[in-house]
Amino acid sequence: MNESFRISQKLGLMFLPNSPIPKDIKQWAIQQLHSKSPALGVKRIRSYHKPEVTEWPKSLQPNLQKRDEMFWAYKENKEKFRRNMPGFQTEADKSRNRQENLMEDLDALKFAHRNVYGEDQLRLRFSSFWANHFRTANIFDNGNHIGHAIDEAILGNINSDFSNMLYKVTTHPSMLIYLDNTYSAGPNSNEAIWAKRNGRQAGLNDNLGRELLELHTVSPSANYTEADINGAAKILAGWGAEPGRISGDKLISLSERNRKIKEIGGTLNSWDYFKTNYAEPGNKTVMGRTFGPGKGALRQLTDFLADHEHTINHITFKLAQHFVSDNPSQTDLDHISRIWRESNGNLDQIHTAVIERAIASKDAKFQWPMNWLFQVVRLSGANGFLGWEEEQNDDYNENIMRTRKIFEELGQGFWLPGQPNGYSSDKAEWLSGEMFERRIRFATALYNGGFPTEGVDNIMNRIGANKVTRELVGSVTGGRRKFVALMCSPEIMGLENA
């Protein structure tokens, strides 16, 4: 592969068929960190005509409060179905409830569209890296929030400091719901005392406190103790608004719901929602550091963890293994971690250091299933995903599956259920027959039903395909076989050649 495409494979999503190839690839890559990021997509797919790429309509990108209210309405309607109320009885009523109030399928499609049509390919790759590092997988209750977290907490902070992103992700409803923090109450909180007196139950749950230390920051190498996890969980107690219904057996109006939410947390903003009654009074200790009572302690904790030497080393390795090499060298790691320290965790500078090492390293870098699919779609100009109108209306398309189904079949996606540790960047985790078979099948499906605009020879010339790839494509006959062979070549998958 020529240098431009080699870099756009490792760090980006491959240049679109009509996009100009920059002369200075390194300068381009660094500038990409600040490129504009509109949510580009298509309304409908038409087989033989290239669909027009435009920005996603605002109406399909509700704000956070609206998303909270939609999920509440969805659950409130479910209760109406349970009671068999008029207008809440038929299958059509059910599917309308889903279409009107659940965002996950549209959000997953918007993510795919961005990655397939976006000109901001490096920003999107870094955004996916962090979305995976801070994975909030779909447990249904946070289905309306995952997309918002990726767009606003992660992509919205991609030019910020790591400490800022860490705080914004930790306090985002997608995370607070996913790791069960919304009900957690300090053992000596007003809520816990009240519960004890009334024969109810309330208390701490350490899920988010544990993963904040283990996965998001210092990692087990820091040798923290169970008491540290408990300290972090106590600082986190009180954070998060309850998703869904909040009125027990009663059906209530939206304004009543909003009044109650505001009463409990002082605001309708679920991204800055702290329930004083659930907070643990007094000081807390985490890894030798003491934190005072109150809402402000969490920011102090995340700032402390963000700067920690174990955090820097932990995440440096993950960045290097994702972008630079399957086996990053000590030089790669030293460079990135040094820049991290010197810049006090400035993400632009950290990402620039990653770009520099990815360019300097000639190692192949195995591409995740989802990034491979986006890259193949971009290289070939094929249609890989539905338009937003088709997804929203659940229209059948004989060539293209629903977005959720595509990610399920790929075996990777941010809207699938899963564990908070995210997907591995180590290629050893992906070397499976079924995973490889999926690549052959997706390449076949894109050729058969995606109407690629670019022929294999064009693509090979444009990327400067290597000898192995050309021989492989030359050794099979027929347009479909040549297409599949190219897309499953070691070069396009990011593996070594024979």
Partner 1 sequence: MPKLTRREFLQASGASLFLAGLPLPGFTKDEPPGTISVIMLEGGMDGLTAVPPFGDPNLFKMRKSLTPENYLKLNSFFGLHPSFKYFSGLLAKNNASVVHATNFPYTKRSHFEGQNLMQGGGLSPFAETTGWLGRALDLAKTPGRSMSLDMPLLLRGAHENDNFFPASIRNSGSLTTNLINMISNAHAEEGSSVFNKVSKKSTQKDSVVPRDPASLAKYAGKAMAKKNGPLSSVIKVDQFDTHASQGADEYGRHGERLAIVDDIIAGYKEGLGDAWDRSIILTLTEFGRTVKENGTWGTDHGWGSAALLAGGAITNSRVISKWPGLAERDLFENRDLVSTIDYRSVCAACIENALGLDHDLIADKVFFTPKLPRVYDFIFS
- With beta carbons less than 8 A apart as the criterion, state whether 105 and 403 touch: yes
Least CB distance to partner 1 at residue 316 (A): 17
Q: By CB under 8 A, is residue 29 in contact with partner 1?
A: no
Given 220, 282, 294, 479, the residue binding partner 1 (CB under 8 A) = 220
- Chain position carrying tokens 């106590």: 234
| Only segment of 50-58, 290-298, 314-322, 485-493 that touches partner 1 (CB under 8 A) | 485-493
52/496 with CB nearer partner 1:
496
User: What phi and psi values does residue 117 have, to the nearest 5 degrees?
Assistant: -110, -10
Using DSSP, state whether 19 is helix, strand or coil: coil
- With beta carbons less than 8 A apart as the criterion, state whether 122 and 15 touch: no
| Only segment of 3-11, 316-324, 413-421, 456-464 that touches partner 1 (CB under 8 A) | 413-421
Look at phi and psi of residue 199 and say left if phi exceeds 0, alpha if psi is from -120 to 50, else beta.
left
Closest to 69 (Cα-Cα) out of 367, 321, 268, 236: 268
Binding mask 449-478 for partner 1 (x = CB under 8 A): x------------------xx-xx--xx--
Q: By CB under 8 A, is residue 201 in contact with partner 1?
A: yes
- Chain position carrying tokens 């174990």: 310
Per-residue b or e along 435-462, where b marks 16 or more CB atoms closer than 10 Å to that residue's CB: eeebbeebbbbbbebbbbebebeebbeb
Least CB distance to partner 1 at residue 373 (A): 11
Question: Which 379-398 positions form the footprint of partner 1 (CB under 8 A)?
Answer: 398
287/472 with CB nearer partner 1:
472
- DSSP category for residue 158: T
Q: Which class for 183: exposed (0-12), middle (13-18), buried (19 or more C-beta within 10 A)?
A: middle
The C-alpha atoms of residue 398 and residue 389 are separated, in whole angstroms, by 15
Question: Which 140-179 positions form the footprint of partner 1 (CB under 8 A)?
Answer: 140-141, 179
The gap between the terminal CA atoms of the chain, to the nearest Å, is: 15
What tokens were used for 248?
Answer: 């027990």
Given 444, 454, 458, 464, the residue binding partner 1 (CB under 8 A) = 444
Least CB distance to partner 1 at residue 463 (A): 16
Given 6, 114, 284, 438, the residue binding partner 1 (CB under 8 A) = 438
Look at phi and psi of residue 451 and say left if phi exceeds 0, alpha if psi is from -120 to 50, else beta.
left
Given 358, 400, 456, 463, the residue binding partner 1 (CB under 8 A) = 400
Question: Which 41-80 positions form the footprint of partner 1 (CB under 8 A)?
Answer: none
| Only segment of 44-52, 139-147, 151-159, 342-350 that touches partner 1 (CB under 8 A) | 139-147
The C-alpha atoms of residue 465 and residue 400 are separated, in whole angstroms, by 28
Q: By CB under 8 A, is residue 288 in contact with partner 1?
A: no
Q: By CB under 8 A, is residue 489 in contact with partner 1?
A: yes
Residue type, 292: G
Q: By CB under 8 A, is residue 399 in contact with partner 1?
A: yes
Binding site for partner 1 (CB under 8 A): 139-141, 179-180, 183-185, 187, 192, 201-207, 210, 214-215, 220, 226, 398-401, 409, 411, 416-419, 421, 427-438, 440-442, 444-445, 448-449, 468-469, 471-472, 475-476, 481, 484-485, 488-490, 493, 495-498
